[in-house]
Copies of this chain bind each other. A is one copy, B any other.
């Protein structure tokens, strides 16, 4: 933790209290000049810090920044967030998390960035990552599960994102197979989970998460393959990124603990309840050809179960799934 983070942490653990420069200087073992320098830096970052003669400093208000100390403060997690790395800018939080994972950092390490210069979506697509508005974070896990079960974690993180959106932003977010979260048919969040493994052992899994929180219409690229939205565009209300991230990490931790204890079944049920196309007629484009049927659920491998007209169940492991439009249905 930097001195700046430590001072913030002191303010957080002493809410509404004045802390004298002398006290801070003693507790952090830095000079009083250094304390003053950090207070000045925090003010420049947008923190409102009152300085009262003979009493000391007091935190009045914090801006919507994603600072490690702020994120860690008050988190009550078993696995996730023991260590938080917050970057003002990086290429991609997944790339940084992978690098840290290879260096051997702890399970539960979170990498978050205000801005990504090379944010990536699925299949190598670009993920638009402007500064100050959205959430870009990656979480490192080292689950002791068979390699074949690693894809289950994608569905776990999708459920946690959707539930956090619904709780914090009062949305009706749904999950879209395999790794999107949508609101009214438009993409609001995407997951890019990565894994390094050997035959019998997972080295690590990185859950990469991008959520469009306060992004404005003109910040989306002109040409989008799928319609996209943000929480602000849907509700007209700004989302506090810090509150959102903390809630999300707690939710993720809760489901990850449950997953390690009870397996995939509870998550699968939750995912099916949140699925945007459950019991709907869909068309699946598998590259080699199309297939029509009704979505009936998810299986243990993470395949989408689609029932054909003849009753047979097809397991979809890869492909683009889209609802059959009403017009087409009427024509059939």
**A binding-site residues for B, Cβ under 8 Å:** 122-124, 146-151, 154, 178-179, 191-201, 301-303, 317-318
Contact = CB atoms under 8 A, between A and B. Distances in A.
A272 B177 CA distance: 34
Contact of A179 (B178, B197, B200): B200
Interface centre among A122, A191, A198, A303 (most CB of B within 10 A): A198
Given A146-B318, A301-B301, A318-B146, A151 B199 contact: yes
Contacts of A179: 199-200
Nearest to A194: B198
Contact of A195 (B192, B193, B197): B197
A191 B198 CA distance: 10
Contacts of A317: 146, 148-149
A297 to B, nearest CB: 17
11 contacts: A122-B199, A123-B200, A123-B201, A148-B303, A148-B317, A149-B317, A154-B199, A179-B200, A193-B198, A193-B199, A197-B197
A227 B191 CA distance: 45
Nearest to A317: B146
A276 to B, nearest CB: 17
Contacts of A193: 198-199
A226 to B, nearest CB: 15
A200 B200 CA distance: 20
A196 B198 contact: no
Nearest to A154: B199
Given A122-B199, A193-B199, A195-B197, A151 B151 contact: no
A301 B124 CA distance: 26
- The 5 A-B pairs at the shortest CB distance, nearest first, are namely A146-B317, A194-B198, A193-B199, A154-B199, A148-B301
A301 to B, nearest CB: 5
Given A195-B195, A200-B318, 5 more contacts: A122-B199, A122-B200, A124-B201, A148-B303, A179-B199
